C-alpha cells in the first residue's frame, strides 16, 4: 500500500515508518489519522516485520494535530440535541485514541526516533510506543493547556507511568518544553544522540537485535509488560503463568542452544499472519 503522510518499508523483519511531510512539520492531518492505524494493523496482520521503527523527515519530528483537523470538523458534531452532540464527540475522541492505542496492541515492539519538536499529539503517539530515542536538539511539549484544552489522546494517562507523576503534571499544567537532557534524566527517552543520522543508525541497530530474537518470546514479553502495567502484581503473575502454560514451547530454546553451539544465527519461525484462513 502507498501512503500520503509517511513512507513505509519492511526489510530484514524491520518495518520503518517515516513521517514525510517536513514542510508542514509532519503535522497530523486528516489523512494521517486514517493511514497510521491502517498501516500499523497491516504490519501486524502480515507478520513479516518483527519490530516497528517510527521516525520522521525534516527539522521536527511532529508538530502534532494539524490545524486542518480543527478548521474542518464534521459539521454534524455540533448539530442537533445536546446530549447526542456530546455522545458523538466522545466517540470521535475514542476513535482518535484508538489510532495510538494500536501501537500498544500490535504484537511487535514499536521504537520511536525523535528529532526537533515533538509537540501535542506527537507526545500522545510516542507515549504509546515501547521505547523512545531522541537527538540533542529534541524537545517535548504537552501543549494542550496553552491552547485552552486538555490532552485527550493518551498523554495524561501514559506519561505519569513513564516519568515521575509530579513532573508529568508540571509538563501538562504549564505546557513548557522538556529538552532532550531532561527527557533522558527523567527516563522518558532511552538515549540521546548527537544528530538524526546517528540516531537512526543506532535505533535501527537496536531494532535488528530485537528482530533476531524469537518473535514469540518478544511478543509475549511485550504483552506481559503491558498487562503488568494495568493490573496488580498477583494478577500479572497469574497471567504470566497462564501465558507460559499456553504459549511456551521448547522449540525456540532448542534452536537457540543449537545455534550457539554451532556459532550460527537462529532462524526462528515468525508469528502467524492474522489473516491466515482457518483450516
Q: Report all structural domains of the chain as residue ranges with CATH numbers, in order of start.
A: 6-211 (3.90.226.10), 215-262 (1.10.12.10)
Helix crossing, 165-174 with 155-162: angle to 10°?
140
Query: What phi and psi values does residue 74 have, to the nearest 5 degrees?
Result: -65, 120
> Is 277's pLDDT higher than 70?
no
Secondary structure element (H or E) that encloses residue 50, with its range:
none
> Is 36's pLDDT higher than 80?
yes
pTM reported for the whole predicted model: 0.93
Spatial separation of the C-alpha atoms in residues 269 and 276, rounded to whole Å: 15
Closest CA to 114 of 33, 58, 171: 58
Rg, Å, the chain Cα set: 20
Closest CA to 18 of 115, 157, 143: 115
DSSP assignment of 44-74 equals HHH---SEEEEEE-SS-SB--B-HHHHHS--
Spatial separation of the C-alpha atoms in residues 33 and 92, rounded to whole Å: 12
Give the 3-state DSSP-derived string for 203-227, with helices as H, strands as E and coil as C: HHHHHHHHHCCCHHHHHHHHHHHHH
Strands 14-19 and 6-11: antiparallel
Angle ∠(80,86,92) on CA atoms, nearest 5? 105
pLDDT of 73: 64
Most confident of the ranges 71-75, 96-100, 257-261: 96-100
Residues 127-181 have pLDDT tens digits of 999 999 999 999 999 999 999 999 999 999 999 999 999 999 999 999 999 999 9
Query: Which residues are CB-neighbours of 84 under 8 A, at least 6 positions away?
Result: none
Side-chain-side CA neighbours of residue 134 (13 Å)? 28
Query: What phi and psi values does residue 161 have, to the nearest 5 degrees?
Result: -95, -10
> Is 51's pLDDT higher than 70?
yes
Spatial separation of the C-alpha atoms in residues 80 and 110, rounded to whole Å: 41
Amino acid at each position: 500500500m502507498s501512503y500520503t503522510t509517511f513512507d513505509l518499508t519492511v526489510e530484514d523483519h524491520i518495518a520503518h515508518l517515516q513521517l514525510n511531510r517536513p514542510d508542514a512539520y509532519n503535522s497530523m492531518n486528516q489523512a494521517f489519522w486514517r493511514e497510521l492505524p491502517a498501516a500499523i494493523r497491516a504490519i501486524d496482520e502480515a507478520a513479516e516485520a518483527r519490530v516497528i521503527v517510527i521516525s520522521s523527515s525534516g527539522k521536527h519530528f511532529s508538530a502534532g494535530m494539524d490545524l486542518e483537523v480543527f478548521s474542518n470538523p464534521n459539521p454534524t458534531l455540533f448539530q442537533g440535541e445536546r446530549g447526542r452532540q456530546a455522545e458523538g464527540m466522545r466517540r470521535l475522541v475514542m476513535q482518535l485514541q484508538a489510532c495510538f492505542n494500536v501501537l500498544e496492541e500490535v504484537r511487535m515492539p514499536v521504537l520511536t526516533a525523535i528529532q526537533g519538536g515533538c509537540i501535542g499529539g506527537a507526545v500522545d503517539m510516542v507515549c504509546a510506543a515501547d521505547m523512545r530515542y531522541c537527538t540533542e536538539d529534541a524537545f517535548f511539549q504537552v501543549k494542550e493547556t496553552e491552547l485552552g484544552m486538555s490532552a485527550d489522546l493518551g498523554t495524561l494517562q501514559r506519561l505519569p507511568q513513564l516519568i515521575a507523576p509530579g513532573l508529568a503534571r508540571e509538563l501538562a499544567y504549564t505546557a513548557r518544553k522538556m529538552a532532550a537532557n531532561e527527557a533522558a534524566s527523567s527516563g522518558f527517552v532511552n538515549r540521546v544522540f548527537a544528530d538524526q543520522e546517528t540516531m537512526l543508525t543506532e535505533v535501527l541497530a537496536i531494532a535488528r537485535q530485537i528482530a533476531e530474537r524469537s518473535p514469540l518470546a518478544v511478543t509475549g514479553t511485550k504483552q506481559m509488560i503491558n498487562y503488568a502495567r494495568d493490573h496488580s502484581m498477583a494478577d500479572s503473575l497469574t497471567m504470566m503463568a497462564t501465558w507460559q502454560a499456553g504459549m511456551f514451547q521448547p522449540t525456540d530454546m532448542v534452536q537457540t542452544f543449537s545455534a550457539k553451539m554451532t556459532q550460527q544465527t537462529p532462524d526462528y519461525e515468525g508469528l502467524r499472519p492474522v489473516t491466515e484462513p482457518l483450516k
